[in-house]
Every structure is written in C-alpha cells, then in structure tokens.
Amino acid sequence: MENIQNISQTLHDKMTRYTNADFGDDDSVNSVQLTEGINSSATHIRYHPGAKLWEVRSNLERILLFLTTFLFIVVIVLSIVVNVVEHHLEIAKDNELKLKSEQPCLNKSCIQIANRILNSINFSRDPCEDFYSYSCDGWLNANPQPEGKRNWGTFMKFEYENYLIIKHKLEQPIATLKSKAEKKAKMYYESCLDTNETVESLGSQPMIDLITKIGGWNITTKNFTIKSWTLQNSLETILNKYSVGALFSYGVGEDDRNSSRHMLQLDQSGLVLPTRDNYLNKTAEHLKILQAYLEYMTKVGVLLGGEQNSTRAQMKDVLDFETKLANITTPSELRRDEETLYHLMTLAELQEKANFIDWRQFFENAMKIVQKKITSKQQIIVYAPGYLGNLTKLIEEYQNTTNGKIILNNYLIWQTVRNFVNYLSKPFRDAEKGLRNALMGTDGGEEPQWRSCIQETNSALGFAVGAIFVREFFNNEAKEYAEIMINNVRSAFKKNFNNLNWMDDQTRKLAIAKADAVSDMIGYPEFIKDVNHLDEKFDNLTVRSDTYFDNNLNIVSYKLRQNLKKINEPVNKTTWSMVPSEVNAYYTPTKNQMALPAGILQSPFYDLSFPASLNYGAIGVIMGHELTHGFDDQGRQYDKNGNLNHWWNNRTVAKFKERAKCFVDQYSNYQINGLYVNGNQTLGENIADNGGLKAAYHAYLELTKNKKEPQQLPGLDFTHKQLFFVAFAQVWCSAMTKEASNLEIEKDTHSPAAFRVIGALSNLKEFSEEFHCRPGSKMNPLKKCEVW
C-alpha cells in the first residue's frame, strides 16, 4: 500500500505540473470523471492530494485509477510526439522546397543558354564602366571575323545559319518542292552556282550584248558616234527598262499625306560610292578610295574590250562628273524632316523646275509596260527639287559640247554596267576586290559560292524562299507567343505616356491611339502558304538554271513592272516589305506597320524554351525598337493612319525637339578610330533604341510582378532582371574592320553596335540600380537623355 501510494502521489504531482503549465491555474480543468464501481450516474471528483481520500479507496479502485492516469499520460505524450514529428516534417519539406528553388535550372535548355552567355562575358571588365565589353568580349574572342568579312556579329552569324537551312532544301531534287515559285528559286540558285560553267564560258558577252541594246559605249564600241544620241532616249532605256538609278531615281509608293493611295515619287540618286563624303573629303583615306574606284572602273572597261589608257582617261571624266553630282546631293542628315522633303506637284510643274528631259514623255514610256496612261496633270511627289534644279544646270554644261555628251553617255552606261557586272564571270567579280578593300578593309576573300548565291536567291525570289523556310523550320507556336509579347511591350510603352510631363493631354491621347493602331506582322504573309497565290505572284517571271545574267535582267524588269502596276491604285496596308527568312525587322510610317519576319524569331534572339528575361531582353527590345520608330523624329510626323500630318501641339513639338537634342549631343560625343558618331544622322535609331529598351524592360517587370523569381541559370550569379540587360547587350556583339567602321559612321543611320548598348543602358536608371553602378560612372552618368 505504501508503494502504491507513493507512485500515485508521484504521478499526481507530475500531472498537476503538466496541466498547470499548459492550461493555467484553473483547478476545474484538472477534474477526472470515474464511471466504473460507482452507483451514481455521474460523480465528479476534484483531484486533490490527501491520504484520507486515497486510503478510503478499495484496491480495485486504486488500480483502476492508476491505469487510467497512466493511459491518459501516454495519450498526451504520444500526441505531443506526433505533433513535434509533423512539425519537423513540415519544416523539412519547406527547406527542401526552398533549397530546390535556390538550385539553378539544370535542364538541357538552361545549360545551353548559360554556356552561351558565360562564353560571351568578360568578367574582368567592370559592367558599370563598359557594359558592351563586359557582355561581348568573350563572344568576340570566340567568334573571330571570318577572312574576307568586313563585319561579323550575332546577326550575321545567325543569318548564315538560316542560309544553311535554305541551302539544304534548295539542293534537294526539284520534285520535293511544292510550288512553281519554289522551283524557280531553285533554278535561280543553280544558275548562280553555275554548275555547268555557263557564266564562265560566256565571259563578257552578255554585257557587250546589253551595251549594244542600250545604244553603245564610247569605251568599248568600235566606231561609236554620239550624233544620234539623246539624253532622253538614254534615260528612258536605262531607267525604264533596267531600273538603273542614274541621275535620279523614281518609283511608286504610298503618298505620305494620303497613305491610302499610291503615287509617283522622284528623288536624288546616281552615286556609286556609298557616301558623298567619299567624293568630297580630301583626306588620305578618301583619296585612297577614289583611286581604288578609278582602278575598278578601268579594269571593268578593259575586260569589256576597252584600251587601257583611253579607258582610264574616260573613266576619270566619269568620276569627275560623279563628284559634281555628289556636290549637289543633299547630305542624309539634312533630310530627316519629312515635311520639308515632301513636295507634291504635277508633271507640268516639274517640267518648269527641271527641264533637262521631257518628264511626261519619260513617264509615258515607263508606263507602257503596265498599260497605264500619263498626262501633264499627273501628280508626283518630289523629295529633292533643289537637287533637280542644280542637276539641270550641271547637265546643260555637258550638253553644250560633243565631249560633254560622250561623258554623260559614258556615265549612264557605266551606271548600268556596274549594276550587272557581278553577274559575269570571275575576272569581273574579282575586279572589285581593290575597291572593297579600300572601303571595307577586306576584299571579300574566297567566300563559298553557295553562300552568296543563297543571298542572291533570297533577294530575287524571297517569298518563294520564305515559303520553304517557314514550312520546314518555323514554329507557329512561336508566332502566337510573339504576338503576346508585342502587345505587352505596347502596353508598357503606352503606360509610360502618363509619366511624360512634356506632352500635352491632347497629343498624349492621339499618341496612345497611334500606338494602338500600329499593326504587327509576325513571321510571314499568309499568301506564301497558298501554292496557287504564290505561283501567281511569280507567274510573269522567267527563270532558267543556265542563264544567270539574263535571269537577273528578268528579275529587275519583273520588279519594276510590279512596282509600276500600283500607280494610282489603293494601298494594301497588309503587304510585306521584307521576306520571311530575313534576320531583321522594320517599321513603315505610311502603313503604321511593324514586321518581325520568321528569320529573326529564332534562337539566340527568341526561343520558347528561354526564360522570359532573355526573350524580352533580346527580341522584346527589338519589338520595342520598331514600335518606337513610330514616335522618333521622323515617325512622329505621321498620324495613326500613316499620313504625314501636323497632329502634335506646337509646344509639345518644341519640347520633343529639346529632348531629342540631348540624344544628338550624347551620341555625337562617341567616337571610333578618331571619328565621331553623327548624332543628327543617327537620331531616329537612337531614339528607337532607348525607347524600345525601356518599353521592353517595363513589359518584363509587369509580366513578372508578384511572381516568384525563376531559377537561376547554372554558373551565372545574375538575377533575371540583370539577365534581361545581358541578353540585350549580347544581341549587338560584333566586330568590324577599321575601314568598315569608318564607312558606317559616314553612312549608316544606326550608331555603332557598342554605342547602341552603352548609350541606351546609360540612360536607363533601372539598369544602374540592378548593377549597382555608382552615380557618375560611365554607365550611370548624372545627365540622362529620355524622350519615351
């Protein structure tokens, strides 16, 4: 009894401590209900220590009380143990999930992407000092310029990969192709490859025959006489039959002020060298180019039968004439205001301003091939009336003498020859190497012939080639997601309008309406999937596999006819201006249309397996770039319907120009090889680069708002916001020869690749925040430029 009592007391003490600890001091909680051995239906006994209470119990009662208490304790202990185990299991599960989320993505796609990015980055460079070098040095080291290439970058490398796909299909049996148009593309490709050596065996004969048809050339034609020659007849033949841009160029396009109709358009033209500076600047480098050009002209003339000394002397006269043309040509940086360029007049009014030919007769001759009538009341848009006035005076000087007329004819025939000379045998193609080397720092090398032939085929029959490319290679799911991306970028672009305090409310509303109205063309035009429609498009084009020179004459004539057919016809604003396999994109202001061909909607710019950060940083910025072109210094002049229209408030225009001037000054301070970037010439592209980057980044932020950070890429200690900027920069990794860089600065409307990255990122405060760049560092200047 003593032992039982001691055990019971011990249990009671433990029980009391446990219940008080968990539930407080309320004694009523500690009562125990007994039902066995008690006659009353319900007896509640308060559980208090005391010998007398224990002593009055029978042995059976004592045993039952002990067992009940023991079992109660066991149940509580087990409950505690179970709860503790479950809690630890939950923690372990949470830790496992957390650990898993912190682990990098290790699937095949992530590993490949990470490897590409890692191999491109130079971690020894400071991203806050030069983000282009930081992002691209590795790529440049791993991808040296191929011999003969003036430039080499991600765009060109990617384009060549597309060429390989097209090559594989065009070299399959002709029966595997689905349409007549595709078969014509294959035949053109074979004629370019010249597997039967027809081009080599013909030598100069195709060009000599062409010169004879045009009327003869004093350099190569025996007993040539200028007596029966007229400028009128020569221009009608050369421009209206062979589409050579000599003295001027013309075509049919959308009327800038009424974009629903097609109109005749006339502009300055006629220089062979890339820029007017090549003729007018007298630096040693430019004189070297002029000398190389004269050597090229002379070589071609001699290959066509000219005598060396006579040919050189006559070509020197042609070069002097071109130099005078360059002198009256308006520089491209002064031709950015669309409203001042546009001059609508009748042919009769044009005749008064530039009477060196009969314009009505000229265009009547042109329209014969499409059976359209022209009168003196026919309206034409003239983009260079000042140039045409000066050209009239220049031609008068040459028309007054026999030798002057010979020089004019020599110039016009030379323009024709140089347009078609690369379709002749190898000696003619090699003749250009010295000029290429002077202009671009390389003579082109011995590039595989198939590669240049794919490029030629794509240029000649691009939609037929595009049908093959899209069918064999393009994923329609990629097209659908690209559409979603464009809409997201557009939404971010529009949303930012509310932050632009320099815009008045009315202009802001109209700008939003224009952004909404921008049509986006993704991948390819639908007609290329319709065999009958595709065949109909190329029905009037004759192509053979053994007539390369004639094929190209036929293609020029075909394209001219297709263009002239549109005169006075309504505009179809869904037509494409770029072929599907092109690694590029564009915006057309008169159609308020942007297009991203299938060729660029591929890795490394875009891939459905990529994280959103990479897609938005690469193709997303390109989408934003094209969208912003509708609001750059030129695109902003066109309204939502594509009409040149003064739809902005004057005060807002002034504010825009003030902000645009910031970009002009910023980019004009960048230099390569001692040459400064032309901030005026590159203004539109710089505005588009900056606006596109900002729109795409904010579209990405909106897409990922309130979402968990995706897994990191293996081996890369970057957040996905940082990866966005790396992806953007690596789009532009490229290298150029010194000569090509100099030519780009003189001619191109785009800034050099490095400054497209540095300029745009240094203006975006979010970049500096993500990479923690101190204020005043090169990538985080205190003064930033912003329009959109």
In this predicted model, what pLDDT tens digit does every residue of 317-351 receive, in sequence order? 999 999 999 999 999 989 999 999 999 999 999 99
Model pLDDT, residue 564: 96
CATH node for 477-523+606-661+685-744+753-788 = 3.40.390.10
Q: Confirm if 642 and 573 have CB atoms less than 8 A apart.
A: yes
How would residue 92 be classed by pLDDT, with cut points 50, 70 and 90?
A: very low
- Looking up tokens 């020197």 gives 316
| Residue 636 predicted with pLDDT over 90 | yes
Count of C-beta atoms within a 10 Å radius of residue 717: 9
CA distances from 743 to 237, 358, 427 (A): 33, 37, 26
236 Cα distance to chain centroid: 38
Tokens for 71, please give them. 């079992």
Q: Confirm if 183 and 177 have CB atoms less than 8 A apart.
A: yes
Alpha-carbon distance of 449 to 456, in angstroms, equals 11
Q: Confirm if 632 and 680 have CB atoms less than 8 A apart.
A: no
| Residue 44 predicted with pLDDT over 80 | no
How would residue 64 be classed by pLDDT, with cut points 50, 70 and 90?
A: low
Alpha-carbon distance of 170 to 185, in angstroms, equals 8
- Looking up tokens 């293609």 gives 555
Alpha-carbon distance of 427 to 300, in angstroms, equals 9
**Strand 379-382 and strand 258-268: pairing?**
parallel
Which comes out higher in pLDDT, residue 239 or 568?
239
Q: Write phi, then psi, for 103 (nearest 5 degrees).
A: -75, 145
Output DSSP code: residue 638: B
Which comes out higher in pLDDT, residue 44 or 529?
529
Cα angle value 578/600/142 (rounded, 5°): 130
How would residue 455 be classed by pLDDT, with cut points 50, 70 and 90?
A: very high
**Strand 734-736 and strand 258-268: pairing?**
unpaired
Model pLDDT, residue 457: 96
| Residue 608 predicted with pLDDT over 60 | yes
Which comes out higher in pLDDT, residue 41 or 233?
233
Minimal CA–CA distance to 214: which of 240, 237, 248? Answer: 237
459 Cα distance to chain centroid: 18
Minimal CA–CA distance to 119: which of 735, 730, 654, 774? Answer: 730
DSSP string of 580-613? TT-S--EEETTTTEEEEEGGGSSTTT--TTS-HH
- Tell me, what amino acid is at 85? V
Model pLDDT, residue 66: 66
How would residue 74 be classed by pLDDT, with cut points 50, 70 and 90?
A: low
Is residue 254 helix, strand or coil? strand
Provide the strand spans (E) within 627-680.
671-672, 675-676
Q: Confirm if 295 and 433 have CB atoms less than 8 A apart.
A: no
Domain boundaries, the chain: 2-102, 204-424, 477-523+606-661+685-744+753-788
Q: Confirm if 729 and 722 have CB atoms less than 8 A apart.
A: no
Tokens for 638, please give them. 């066109």
pLDDT per residue as tens digits for the range 637-668: 999 999 999 999 999 999 999 999 999 999 99
Q: Confirm if 270 and 246 have CB atoms less than 8 A apart.
A: yes
Which comes out higher in pLDDT, residue 664 or 2?
664
689 assigned to active site: yes
Minimal CA–CA distance to 466: which of 554, 582, 595, 559? Answer: 582
- Looking up tokens 């013309």 gives 250
Alpha carbon dihedral 180, 185, 188, 194, in 10-degree steps, equals: -110
Which comes out higher in pLDDT, residue 554 or 61?
554
pTM recorded for the entire structure: 0.82
| Residue 618 predicted with pLDDT over 50 | yes
Q: Write phi, then psi, for 371 (nearest 5 degrees).
A: 55, 45
Alpha-carbon distance of 760 to 73, in angstroms, equals 72
Alpha-carbon distance of 141 to 146, in angstroms, equals 12
Model pLDDT, residue 25: 36
Provide the strand spans (E) within 130-286.
151-153, 248-255, 258-268
Which comes out higher in pLDDT, residue 98 or 302?
302
Count of C-beta atoms within a 10 Å radius of residue 261: 15
Is residue 570 helix, strand or coil? strand
Which residues does residue 644 pair with via DSSP β-bridges, in sequence order? 638
Of the CA atoms within 13 Å of residue 3, those in its CB half-sphere come to: 0
Alpha-carbon distance of 322 to 739, in angstroms, equals 22
Burial string for 736-771 (b: 16+ CB within 10 Å, else e) reads bbebbbbbbbbbbebbbbbbbbbbbbbbbebbbebb
Assess whether the region 204-424 and the region 477-523+606-661+685-744+753-788 belong to the same CATH fold: no
- Tell me, what amino acid is at 462? G
Q: Could you tell me what percent of the chain has a pLDDT over 70? A: 87
Q: Which of 137, 159, 626, 786 is catalytic?
A: 626
| Residue 107 predicted with pLDDT over 90 | no
Q: Confirm if 619 and 482 have CB atoms less than 8 A apart.
A: yes
Alpha-carbon distance of 258 to 240, in angstroms, equals 26
Is residue 150 helix, strand or coil? coil
Alpha-carbon distance of 458 to 450, in angstroms, equals 12
| Residue 71 predicted with pLDDT over 80 | no
How would residue 47 be classed by pLDDT, with cut points 50, 70 and 90?
A: very low
Model pLDDT, residue 717: 87
Alpha-carbon distance of 530 to 520, in angstroms, equals 21
| Residue 65 predicted with pLDDT over 70 | no
Model pLDDT, residue 75: 60
Alpha-carbon distance of 266 to 413, in angstroms, equals 21
Radius of gyration of the chain, Cα coordinates, nearest whole angstrom: 39
Burial string for 450-475 (b: 16+ CB within 10 Å, else e) reads bebbbbbbbebbbbbbbbbbbeebbe
Arithmetic mean of pLDDT, 101-106:
71
Alpha-carbon distance of 518 to 496, in angstroms, equals 17
Is residue 130 helix, strand or coil? coil
| Residue 740 predicted with pLDDT over 70 | yes
Tokens for 220, please give them. 């190569």
| 400 contact partners, CB below 8 Å, separation of at least 6 | none
Q: Confirm if 123 and 141 have CB atoms less than 8 A apart.
A: no
How would residue 261 be classed by pLDDT, with cut points 50, 70 and 90?
A: very high
Tokens for 421, please give them. 């000379």
| Residue 113 predicted with pLDDT over 80 | yes
DSSP string of 692-759? HHHHHHHHHHHHHTTSPPPPPPTT----HHHHHHHHHHHHT-EEE-HHHHHHHHHH-SSPPHHHHHHH
Model pLDDT, residue 609: 85
Least confident of 205-219, 224-238, 444-458, 728-742: 444-458
**What distance separates the 2 farthest-apart alpha carbons in the chain?**
151
Least confident of 31-35, 336-340, 395-399: 31-35
Q: Confirm if 349 and 223 have CB atoms less than 8 A apart.
A: no
CA distances from 462 to 22, 109, 528, 533, 708 (A): 83, 32, 10, 15, 44
Q: Which of 255, 582, 689, 744 is catalytic?
A: 689
How would residue 112 be classed by pLDDT, with cut points 50, 70 and 90?
A: confident
| Residue 479 predicted with pLDDT over 80 | yes
Is residue 639 helix, strand or coil? coil
Please say whether the structural domain 204-424 has been given the CATH code 1.10.1380.10: yes
CA distances from 464 to 193, 538, 725 (A): 18, 9, 37
Arithmetic mean of pLDDT, 664-684:
95
How would residue 109 be classed by pLDDT, with cut points 50, 70 and 90?
A: confident
| Residue 361 predicted with pLDDT over 90 | yes
pLDDT per residue as tens digits for the range 625-634: 999 999 999 9
| Residue 4 predicted with pLDDT over 60 | no
DSSP string of 339-391? HHH-EEEEHHHHHHH--SS-HHHHHHHHHGGGT----TT-EEEES-HHHHHHH
94 Cα distance to chain centroid: 44
| Residue 699 predicted with pLDDT over 70 | yes
Which comes out higher in pLDDT, residue 416 or 602?
416
Model pLDDT, residue 210: 97
Arithmetic mean of pLDDT, 463-486:
91
Model pLDDT, residue 37: 34
Which residues does residue 248 pair with via DSSP β-bridges, in sequence order? 268
| Residue 447 predicted with pLDDT over 60 | yes
| 89 contact partners, CB below 8 Å, separation of at least 6 | none
